[in-house]
Structure 1
Amino acid sequence: MKLIIVSGRSGSGKSTALHVLEDLGYYCIDNLPIGLLFPLTREATVKESTARLKRIAVSIDARNLSDEIANFEDIHHQLRQTGATIETIFLDATDQALLQRFHATRRKHPLSNDRTSLKEAIDSEKHLLEPIASLADLFVDTTELSIYELRDMVKQRVIGRREQELALLIQSFGFKHGVPVDSDYVFDVRCLPNPYWDTSLRKFTGIDQPVVDFLENEPATLKMVEDLTHFLERWLPSFGESNRSYMTISVGCTGGQHRSVYICEQLGKFFAERYNNVQVRHTELPHLKHVDS
């Protein structure tokens, strides 16, 4: 029996993620009280022959009692002892993005009231859900994701992986836009020669052949790719052996257009031959945000 717990701050995309899982055959429950997680899992494990209960997804958020959220670690430990496969996905976004989403939809935040503003409620919710966030197997920052991109992310990272298999996301980014908060590893490749300073290359990206040729003519680039692949090849299996299900590897350059894109493409090709679930994402290139490897 497999149980996926979907949590995160209000407005981060939990409902979208749960709908995707429902479409993919999971028995889904929205806003399940945390205290019922253990009885539900135990019942489903006992009745494992019932196909409908072999895969369950539940959404848990700030509508739960604060005391139950605070005790989530104990419940989580009990769940793992049932023999069921448990995965926790935590979705979040920046405070500003959440504010904009609530203003756009005119929905009421579950923690806001006459004495608590929307901004205060969003901030309070972050602290309230920390016990769940700290135990998440997968953290997804939905700030820059559309509904459709979030759906693809859930399908590719959660459903696309086999049991006990490490799912990899390799993403490029620009340091001037900030480091992705969902990163497990962050590598800085700003030390490499920058194609941006060649005005004939500025309009291209790290996927385009003129930039590829420029970078591959630099010994430092090839050495960087070699060192990163060797490092990750050496240490990624250790994460899998420690029951880690997901890893997000972020590679950054100044603007996220050239060097980091090229490096991620090379890493994606290398690890796609070694892992079944590898996704390459270019955060600063909207038309190339999701590239399957």
Structure 2
Amino acid sequence: MKLVLVTGLSGGGKSIAIRQLEDCGYYCIDNLPAEFLLPVARTLARSETKMAAVAIDARSHATFDNTLESLKTLRAEGFDVRILYLTASTPEITRRFSETRRRHPLSTHARAHSEEVTLQEAIERERALLEPVCAHACVLDTTGLLPAQLRRWVQQFVDQPESDMTLAFESFAFKYGVPGVADLVFDVRCLPNPYYTPELRPLTGRDQPVADFLADSPLVARMTDDIARFLETWLPAYRAQNRHYLTVCIGCTGGQHRSVYVAETLAKRFHAIVRHRVIEQHALLNPERARQSL
């Protein structure tokens, strides 16, 4: 049975992810106590359920430490186990809780034990609690993501064939900050910028005129080849550490031209996942522009 564990920070987007997995045909269970993971997974497998997803988070803090061991047991029993971890920056999580006016689960737990903690303290406690699972998961930073963009990334995650290590390239804009999920970061702001060519400015690195402009630059080719050689050299070392997922973030100033082109080029070379933090948001906000680009 294919089993997806959805976990991560409260307010990180787990509800959206679970709903998307349900739309993809998964049997979904939200807020499953961690100690029930083994019996529930085995019961679903006996009932010939082919795909299931369970959400386990900090509300199971008393037994959460056993989650990795349970997943190891399930893998040994033949389950195809994947872990999806959703996170966001502390200011983003704080804003989301302020908008919904809900209490953080760890704040509620602390109050029940006559302890007062701030929202920021609860968020950092939750990060520390979930850190062991985060190290074994596909991590998605939902800071600034639109719900539709997150749903698309979740579908991409489950559609990708399982391998010894899943490699993902993600373009981003330095002016919005480095994604929190980055395992490796490459700065391509030193490359020629199509932004300063008026007819290329409104386009993206996925548009052919921009791709042609960058492909004609020896600097771009050299940078792309150097990054590829670095990855070819060191990916075996990451695999040797039993890393299941590796996210390589490529950044430029606006996240629209250079980083997108380099990420696309590398993803094709390595047959990897590719995500574009900035231009996918623009496409969702401006569907007509996206259709013209395609």
State the TM-score bracket (shorter-chain normalisation). Answer: 0.7 to 0.9
Residue 54 in 1 paired to residue 53 in 2? no
State how far apart, in whole Å, the 1-side matches of 2:175 and 2:197 are. 20
Q: Assess if the C-alpha contact under 8 Å between 1:257 and 1:285 holds in 2.
A: no
- Match for 1:129: what amino acid? L
| Alignment RMSD (CA, Å) | 3.2
Partner SS for 2:225: helix
Q: Assess if the C-alpha contact under 8 Å between 1:281 and 1:289 holds in 2.
A: no
Percent of residue pairs identical:
46
Mind listing any 5+ residue stretches in structure 2 that lack a counterpart? Answer: none
Q: Report how far residue 112 of structure 1 moved.
A: 1.7
Residue 39 in 1 paired to residue 39 in 2? yes
Higher mean C-alpha displacement, 83-92 vs 118-127? 118-127
Residue 109 in 1 paired to residue 107 in 2? no
* Paired position in structure 2 for 1:123: 124
Mind listing any 5+ residue stretches in structure 1 that lack a counterpart? Answer: none
* Paired position in structure 2 for 1:255: 254
Are the structure 2 counterparts of residues 205 and 16 from structure 1 closer, same or farther at C-alpha, using a change threshold of 3 Å?
closer
With normalisation by structure 2, the TM-score equals 0.80
Are the structure 2 counterparts of residues 11 and 81 from structure 1 closer, same or farther at C-alpha, using a change threshold of 3 Å?
same
Q: Assess if the C-alpha contact under 8 Å between 2:136 and 2:243 holds in 1.
A: no
Q: Report how far residue 8 of structure 1 moved.
A: 0.9
Residue 267 in 1 paired to residue 266 in 2? yes
Q: Report how far residue 146 of structure 1 moved.
A: 1.4
Residue 141 in 1 paired to residue 179 in 2? no
- Match for 1:190: what amino acid? R
Q: Report how far residue 233 of structure 1 moved.
A: 5.9
* Paired position in structure 2 for 1:89: 84
Higher mean C-alpha displacement, 279-288 vs 86-95? 279-288
Are the structure 2 counterparts of residues 258 and 54 from structure 1 closer, same or farther at C-alpha, using a change threshold of 3 Å?
closer
Q: Report how far residue 205 of structure 1 moved.
A: 4.2
Partner SS for 1:111: helix
Q: Assess if the C-alpha contact under 8 Å between 1:20 and 1:155 holds in 2.
A: yes
Q: Assess if the C-alpha contact under 8 Å between 2:97 and 2:104 holds in 1.
A: yes
Q: Assess if the C-alpha contact under 8 Å between 2:149 and 2:281 holds in 1.
A: no
- Give the count of matched residue pairs: 281
Q: Report how far residue 240 of structure 1 moved.
A: 7.5
Q: Assess if the C-alpha contact under 8 Å between 2:88 and 2:180 holds in 1.
A: no
